């Protein structure tokens, strides 16, 4: 009996112990299954497969003749796989030396227990190749692409630049991102628990697809001439900035778009172009300055065009049948409109003059009279008809719209000032596009840069087409060509005259707002040849010091540019 009792006690103890053990195990299992499931799930996947992305090569941007304006450079990304390291000390020494990094920084990264630790990206290919040659276990050298602009600051705000993920940030890089970016690929490798690639198991590889090439109408040579000329006048006149546009007025192709000072596309976050050696510490302030530096004044900013806009008032009057070239006017130096006396730029007045003399003299009272003949309703009607109310539709992001009074708020005084280009604002590109219509036979064209998309072998994938519309009679356009040619040969635009060429154009001297600041914008719009023009150029010089008249400051800039590019474009001198 005693023995039996003893055995039962022994069984009970063993049984109780087993029950307790079982409960502990169940508890632990429950904990692992319910509370740590995600953790182990992740670990399990990490143990077996590792997916890495292979960056696609971004498409190039080439100019009208195939000159490469944006391309890629091969760079390397250096990283360390901790589980594969054999001689950490040697790796630390080598990486610190080759990459020029502080030894403590490298040590911290190499000794960190992680599946893959990035040491440095954007490393030059030659350095990457050298690191690979050490053949040190655990050191990984991956090839990568970095956007590269061979001409640094050429057409910086037009081309734009890309961010770290290869995406466009401003300019054409944003607008044509879908064609340029391509498609990233992936590598899927299977590894054991230590992260070492398992042999005999094929890695799955999805090849990246390279982006397409974008061909634009920018011409490297014309852009370079224009940029040099703009930089020269900016320095001479100590101006804040100079904007210049050269386009084909017949089809809207933009050959050059300049905003000096330009910035270096390979260093888009350096504020050097803003005259700052060091970026401000305040992040918000820094971003504000960068945004300002990246602005494309030709399309993102509006200004009062001033007298270049008189071309509109004259063309609208011809269209409406309210003006004959033989009409005569009288300028006493001002015109009284309601209770105001609005002055001509010539204080003593131009006296008696024909319409042709009026446009040659850029006489304000003549154009106020033309505005009055049109009246508010017709003025707005032609403003809309010629396309000036709408954006131009240029293929660049952030185009600014026209700023103009509501028609019902316009009285005789506003109408008078609008007739000579004040009291409303448009972009420089809008002005260039409007004058294109006036001198190209009357067609409103869409200014643009993108011409076609090519594959890597230069085969055409897609040609872009742009809208155009006849909005003015050919007769009015031909008359305007003739009168604007006389402005250059005999009037205020004579500083743009080149012996032997027939060039048309119009000067302007406008003010930035508020007028009390006495800051001026000198501008000139010119085209050649005067009959069936092949090129139209607009220059605007912001806040020039000293003499600021458009005829004196801006017209000679376009003469210099034309002297260089007219022979290049195959435009011959008259009579040759
Ligand atoms: Zn006058």
Question: Given pLDDT bands bounded at 50, 70 and 90, which one contains residue 202?
Answer: low
In terms of Cβ atoms closer than 10 Å to its own Cβ (0-12, 13-18, 19+), residue 3 is exposed
Whether 566 has a pLDDT exceeding 80, the answer reads yes
Question: Given pLDDT bands bounded at 50, 70 and 90, which one contains residue 221?
Answer: very high
For residues 260 and 252, the answer to whether their CB atoms sit within 8 Å is: no
Instruction: Output the CA 353–ligand 1 centroid distance in Å.
Output: 9
Whether 29 has a pLDDT exceeding 60, the answer reads yes
Instruction: Output the CA 357–ligand 1 centroid distance in Å.
Output: 10
Whether 183 has a pLDDT exceeding 70, the answer reads yes
Tell me the average pLDDT of the chain.
90
Comparison of pLDDT for 119 and 40, the residue scoring more: 119
Q: What is the pLDDT of residue 508?
A: 93
Domain range list for the chain? 51-216, 298-568
Q: What is the pLDDT of residue 357?
A: 95
Instruction: Output the CA 370–ligand 1 centroid distance in Å.
Output: 13
Whether 19 has a pLDDT exceeding 90, the answer reads no
Q: Which of 139-143, 172-176, 223-227 has the lowest mean pLDDT?
A: 139-143
Whether 194 has a pLDDT exceeding 70, the answer reads no
Instruction: Work out the average pLDDT over 543-565.
Output: 92
Superfamily (CATH) of domain 298-568: DD-peptidase/beta-lactamase superfamily (3.40.710.10)
**At CA 532, angle to CA 527 and CA 536, rounded to 5?**
25
387 torsion bin: left (phi>0), alpha (psi -120 to 50), beta (else):
left
The answer to whether domain 51-216 and domain 298-568 are alike in fold is no
Chain-centroid distance of CA 403 in Å reads 22
307 is catalytic: yes
CA distance 197 to 408: 76
Question: Given pLDDT bands bounded at 50, 70 and 90, which one contains residue 4?
Answer: low
Comparison of pLDDT for 6 and 493, the residue scoring more: 493
The Cβ of residue 310 has, within 10 Å, a number of other Cβ atoms equal to 26
Task: Check 156, 217, 307, 510 and give the catalytic one.
Answer: 307
Instruction: Work out the average pLDDT over 40-67.
Output: 78
Helices then strands, each counted (H, E), the chain: 19, 23
Instruction: Output the CA 504–ligand 1 centroid distance in Å.
Output: 21
Rounded to two decimals, what is the model's pTM? 0.85
Fold topology of 51-216 = Penicillin-binding protein 2a (Domain 2) (3.90.1310)
Instruction: Work out the average pLDDT over 326-339.
Output: 94
CA distance 368 to 417: 7
Q: What is the pLDDT of residue 237?
A: 95
Encode pLDDT of 257-278 as tens digits: 999 999 999 999 988 777 777 7
Instruction: Work out the average pLDDT over 449-477.
Output: 96
Instruction: Output the CA 315–ligand 1 centroid distance in Å.
Output: 19
Encode pLDDT of 373-431 as tens digits: 999 999 999 999 999 999 999 999 999 999 999 999 999 999 999 999 999 999 999 99
Q: Which of 19-28, 442-451, 482-491, 565-574 has the lowest mean pLDDT?
A: 19-28
Instruction: Output the CA 530–ligand 1 centroid distance in Å.
Output: 25
Instruction: Output the CA 351–ligand 1 centroid distance in Å.
Output: 7
CA distance 306 to 486: 19
Instruction: Output the CA 419–ligand 1 centroid distance in Å.
Output: 14
């Amino acid at each position: 009996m005693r023995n039996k009792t003893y055995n039962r006690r022994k069984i009970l103890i063993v049984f109780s112990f087993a029950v307790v053990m079982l409960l502990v195990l169940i508890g632990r299992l429950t904990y692992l299954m319910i509370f740590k499931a995600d953790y182990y799930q992740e670990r399990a996947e990490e143990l077996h497969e590792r997916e890495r992305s292979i960056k696609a090569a971004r498409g190039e941007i080439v100019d009208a003749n195939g000159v490469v304006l944006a391309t890629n450079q091969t760079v390397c990304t250096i990283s360390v796989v901790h589980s594969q390291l054999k001689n950490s000390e040697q790796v630390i020494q080598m990486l610190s030396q080759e990459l020029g990094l502080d030894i403590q920084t490298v040590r911290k990264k190499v000794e960190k227990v992680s599946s893959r630790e990035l040491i440095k990206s954007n490393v030059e290919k030659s350095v990457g190749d050298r690191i690979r040659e050490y053949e040190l276990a655990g050191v990984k050298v991956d090839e990568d692409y970095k956007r590269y602009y061979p001409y640094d600051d050429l057409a910086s705000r037009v081309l734009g630049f890309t961010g770290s993920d290869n995406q466009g940030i401003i300019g054409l890089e944003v607008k044509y991102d879908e064609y340029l970016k391509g498609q990233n690929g992936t590598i899927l490798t299977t590894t054991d628990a230590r992260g070492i690639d398992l042999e005999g198991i094929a890695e799955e590889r999805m090849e990246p697809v390279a982006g397409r090439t974008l061909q634009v109408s920018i011409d490297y040579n014309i852009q370079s001439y224009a940029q040099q000329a703009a930089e020269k006048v900016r320095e001479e006149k100590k101006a804040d900035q100079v904007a210049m546009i050269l386009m084909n007025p017949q089809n809207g192709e933009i050959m050059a778009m300049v905003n000096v000072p330009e910035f270096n596309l390979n260093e888009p976050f350096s504020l050097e172009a803003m005259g700052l050696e060091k970026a401000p510490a305040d992040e918000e302030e820094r971003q504000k300055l960068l945004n300002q530096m990246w602005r494309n004044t030709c399309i993102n900013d509006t200004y009062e065009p001033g007298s270049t806009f008189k071309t509109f008032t004259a063309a609208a009057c011809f269209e409406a049948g309210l003006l004959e070239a033989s009409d005569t006017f009288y300028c006493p130096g001002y015109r009284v409109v309601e209770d105001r006396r609005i002055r001509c730029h010539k204080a003593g007045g131009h006296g008696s003059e024909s319409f042709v003399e009026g446009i040659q003299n850029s006489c304000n009272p003549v154009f106020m009279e033309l505005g009055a003949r049109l009246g508010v309703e017709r003025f707005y009607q032609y403003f809309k008809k010629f396309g000036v109310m709408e954006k131009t539709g240029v293929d660049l992001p952030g185009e600014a719209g026209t700023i103009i009074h509501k028609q019902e708020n316009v009285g005789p005084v506003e109408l008078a000032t609008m007739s000579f280009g004040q009291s409303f604002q448009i972009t420089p590109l809008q002005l260039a596009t409007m004058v294109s219509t006036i001198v190209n036979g009357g067609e409103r064209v869409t200014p643009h840069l993108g011409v076609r998309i090519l594959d890597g072998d230069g085969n055409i994938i897609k040609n872009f087409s742009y809208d155009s519309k006849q909005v003015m009679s050919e007769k009015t356009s031909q008359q305007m060509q003739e009168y604007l040619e006389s402005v250059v040969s005999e009037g205020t635009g004579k500083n743009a005259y080149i012996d032997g060429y027939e060039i048309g154009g119009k000067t302007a001297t406008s003010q930035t707002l508020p007028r009390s600041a006495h800051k001026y914008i000198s501008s000139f719009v010119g085209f050649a040849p005067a009959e069936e023009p092949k090129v139209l150029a607009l220059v605007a010089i912001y806040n020039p010091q000293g003499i600021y008249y458009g005829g004196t400051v801006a017209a000679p800039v376009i003469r210099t540019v034309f002297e260089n590019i007219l022979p290049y474009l195959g435009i011959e001198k008259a009579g040759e």
